[in-house]
Amino acid sequence: MDAQTKTNAATQTKSAAKMEGTGSNVLLDVRNLKKYFPITQGILFQRKVADVKAVDGVSFDVKQGETLGLVGESGCGKSTTGRTILQLYRPTEGQVLFRGKDLAQLKGEELRRMRSDMQMIFQDPYASLNPRMTVGDIIAEPLEVHNIAKGQEKKERVQELLQIVGLNPYFINRYPHEFSGGQRQRIGIARALAVNPDFIVCDEPISALDVSIQAQIINLLEELQDRFGLTYLFIAHDLSVVRHISDRVAVMYLGKIVELTDSRTLYANPLHPYTRALLSAVPIPDPIIEEKRERIILVGDVPSPVNPPKGCRFHTRCPLAIPICKEVAPEWRDVGNGHFVECHVV
């Protein structure tokens, strides 16, 4: 079987799986996920003095074939969430159920095998490609690691992948420095696609790129999703991009998800005061609309995740805070139609 037929076969199986699922099939179920990074002191005898609570109890699911957007400001834990799901960081607590199997419990060979189903696209296309490897070797590496293809078959598969992401197959012997940022990001995408994954974590895949190139990559990701039935967790700080590409959006603040709903509702009817502030802060490229818009300007900065505020984490900056917010952490509740929010006031 040559590489082409193999891919086609794999694609067909996947589309079939997607059809059966009709969108309500849960691929990934994250339950109360926590990731703490210890802060240590001392040279010989290191003792833990505190924790950076990067992710502090998040729960959500991702359905087969959908794109879940994860949005938030720097330091809110969105990238850590993505990496912890893929077990690049081992979770401190909680479950990551991928097709019902808890990845947090898997180890060694078993986990390694699962990795061919889950891939990642990184933010910085300059740092995530080895400068000493040719593009061909970079894309072929996952094929070798997972024993998918060898020799001529491998080469054909790499060339096919280059073509899929819109690069010239003759580029196979070039090095990353010969490519522009947008082209490098395409190489990163080809590498992620090499193993025919079902699920891809896209960690800020376009924020390092120029505006005119961003749209090329967004369109490519959308085409690939339709073609291969991919499921995305799309992490970004740019709300307009996240809203554009996602079916549902989760908004993170200081290690917690504060609101989760479909992308239309998030924009039309945002409930959490942080979501509202975030939406109102995103500029719209239209001077007439900008003139009329009322901005909610948040005071101050995000508190430290080492000592997150007691009660609701947002209360220090919240324009709607009431006394209870300082004392009691609000519960994660469903307000109808799969719209989740964590706030006392709404």
Nearer to another protein, 102 or 210 (CB): 210
Q: What are phi and psi of 176, to 5 degrees?
A: -55, -35
| Token reading at 11 | 């694609």
Distance CA 328, CA 242 (A): 31
Q: Do 195 and 146 touch, CB atoms closer than 8 A? A: yes
Which of 8, 22, 163, 219 lies at the binding interface for another protein (CB under 8 A)?
A: 219
**Is position 276 an interface residue for another protein (rule: CB under 8 A)?**
yes
* Strand duo 340-341 + 333-334: pairing: antiparallel
Q: From the CB of 256, what's the least distance to another protein, in Å?
A: 17
Which of 118, 263, 273, 332 lies at the binding interface for another protein (CB under 8 A)?
A: 263
CB count within 10 Å of CB 78 equals 29
| Of 4-12, 88-96, 282-290, 334-342: span binding another protein (CB under 8 A) | 282-290
**Is position 311 an interface residue for another protein (rule: CB under 8 A)?**
no
Residue of 21, 19, 84 lying closest to 58 (CA atoms): 84
Which of 127, 145, 282, 322 lies at the binding interface for another protein (CB under 8 A)?
A: 282
Residue of 255, 312, 218 lying closest to 36 (CA atoms): 255
**Is position 216 an interface residue for another protein (rule: CB under 8 A)?**
yes
Q: From the CB of 318, what's the least distance to another protein, in Å?
A: 12
Nearer to another protein, 114 or 175 (CB): 175
**Is position 117 an interface residue for another protein (rule: CB under 8 A)?**
no
Distance CA 145, CA 260 (A): 36
Q: Do 137 and 165 touch, CB atoms closer than 8 A? A: no
What residues make contact with another protein under the rule CB under 8 A? 73-74, 180, 182, 210-216, 218-219, 222, 237-241, 243-247, 263-264, 267, 270, 276-293, 295, 297-298, 301
